[in-house]
Amino acid sequence: MRSHEQRTASAVENSEANPNGAVTGLGHVLEPGVIDVSHGTILYLDDVTVSFDGFRALDGLTLSIAPGELRCVIGPNGAGKTTMMDVVSGKTRPDSGSAFLGQTIDLTRLREPAIATAGIGRKFQKPTVFENHPVWENLELAMKADKRWLASLRARLDRAAQAKLEATLALIDLESAAYRLAGELSHGQKQRLEIGMLLMQQPALLLLDEPAAGMTDQETMELARLLDALRGTCSMMVVEHDMAFVAALAGETGMVTVMADGRVLAEGTLDAVKRDERVIVSYLGR
C-alpha cells in the first residue's frame, strides 16, 4: 500500500462543505474526520496474523471494504470474526500484517480511543446504555463524547445538535420512548439505542458484532431496516449468524465474506457463497 502524508481526523466545526462526509442528511453541520478514500477502500486489512499462545486466531486475513458498503461477515464459531474486529478497533494488536482506515490511517499504530475518534464506531454484542438515564440523554451523552460537538454543547444543546438528536431518535425509531429510562427498554430497543449513540459520534465505519443475537424475529427485522436506512451515511461491517438477517442486509447483490480458520474462505453474493463447496463443508453443512 502506498503511504501518503499522514492525515488524521481533524475537527472542523460548522463546515457545510462536506457533502460526502458521514451521516449527512441527519441535520448535523460538523465535518467528520478526514479519511482518504481516494483509492476506493474505507477499510483495508492485508495478511493480518494474530496468535494466542501459538494458536493463530487470524492467519493471513486479507479483506477490504469500499466506502459506503454494508459488508456481512459470516463463518463458524472460532473463525476469528471477533478477533478481526478487535484488530480494527485497536483492542488487539496484530502480530503481523497491516490494517488501514482509508489510505493513510494506520490502525495498528493507534490506540482504541484514537481509532474511535478517527471514525470507527464499534457495537459490542451486549448493549451498553446508561440504564438510569432517559433515552434522549443517552444520545446527548454520546454526542458529548465527540469533541466535534463540544463547541455547540458548551452552553446548551444548540439547534444543530438538537436537530441531530431528533433525527437520530427518529432513525432508531425511539421517538415515543425518548423520555423513558433506557433501562426500561426491550433488548431490541436497547440495541437500537446503542447504535444511535454510536451514530451521534458520526462514525465513518460501524462495526457490529452479532447485533441480532438474542433478538426476536421482529426486532431482528427492525434492526435490518435501521441498518438499511444507514446505507450511504456510513460504511458498515456486520458479523452475524442469523441467515435471514444476512439475507435482508445483503440482498441479491451485496458482498458477503465467509471466514474460517482465521482467514477469508469465500467472498461473493450470498447466493454464490451459499453454493460454494468449501462454505457448505465448513459452515453451512448439507
Ligand X SMILES: Nc1ncnc2c1ncn2[C@@H]1O[C@H](COP(=O)(O)OP(=O)(O)O)[C@@H](O)[C@H]1O
Q: Provide the binding-site residues for Mg ion, judged by CB under 5 A.
A: 81-82
Nearest approach in angstroms of CB 195 to ligand X is 20
Nearest approach in angstroms of CB 209 to Mg ion is 6
Q: Which of ligand X, Mg ion, none has residue 57 at its interface (CB below 5 to 8 Å by kind)? A: ligand X
Closest CA to 89 of 64, 115, 127: 115
Q: Which grid cell is 218?
A: 421482529
Nearest approach in angstroms of CB 239 to ligand X is 7
Smaller CB separation from ligand X, 21 or 80: 80
Return the SS3 of 37. Answer: coil
Which residue type does 147 have? K
Adjacency order of strands within the sheet including 255-260: 120-123, 205-209, 235-239, 70-74, 255-260, 263-269
Nearest approach in angstroms of CB 7 to Mg ion is 32
Smaller CB separation from Mg ion, 27 or 214: 214
Return the SS3 of 179. Answer: coil
Contact status: 78 vs ligand X (CB under 6 A): yes
Span near ligand X by CB under 6 A; candidates 70-78, 98-106, 134-142, 277-285:
70-78
Smaller CB separation from ligand X, 78 or 254: 78
Smaller CB separation from ligand X, 82 or 220: 82
Return the SS3 of 243. Answer: helix
Smaller CB separation from ligand X, 83 or 89: 83
Give the whole-angstrom CA distance, residue 88 versus residue 120. 8
Contact status: 94 vs ligand X (CB under 6 A): no
Smaller CB separation from ligand X, 83 or 104: 83
Nearest approach in angstroms of CB 237 to Mg ion is 13
Contact status: 81 vs ligand X (CB under 6 A): yes
Beta strand 55-65 with 43-52 is antiparallel
CA atoms within 13 A on the CB side of 55: 8
Q: Which of ligand X, Mg ion, none has residue 32 at its interface (CB below 5 to 8 Å by kind)? A: none
- Window 37-56: residues binding ligand X (CB under 6 A): 52
Q: Which grid cell is 132?
A: 438510569
Smaller CB separation from Mg ion, 80 or 119: 80
Nearest approach in angstroms of CB 209 to ligand X is 7
Task: Pinpoint the alpha helices (H) of 101-153.
Answer: 112-118, 135-144, 150-153
Nearest approach in angstroms of CB 113 to ligand X is 20
Burial readout 92-129 (b: 16 or more C-beta within 10 A, e: otherwise):
bebeebbbbbbbbbebeebeeeebbbbbbbbbeeebeb
Of residues 31, 32, 45, 83, which one binds ligand X by CB under 6 A?
83
CB atoms near residue 219 (< 10 Å): 17
Burial readout 54-80 (b: 16 or more C-beta within 10 A, e: otherwise):
eebbbeebebebebbbbbbbbbbeebb
Contact status: 80 vs ligand X (CB under 6 A): yes
Instruction: Answer whether 267's CB lies under 8 Å from 257's CB.
Output: yes
Chain positions contacting ligand X, by CB under 6 A: 52, 57, 75, 77-83
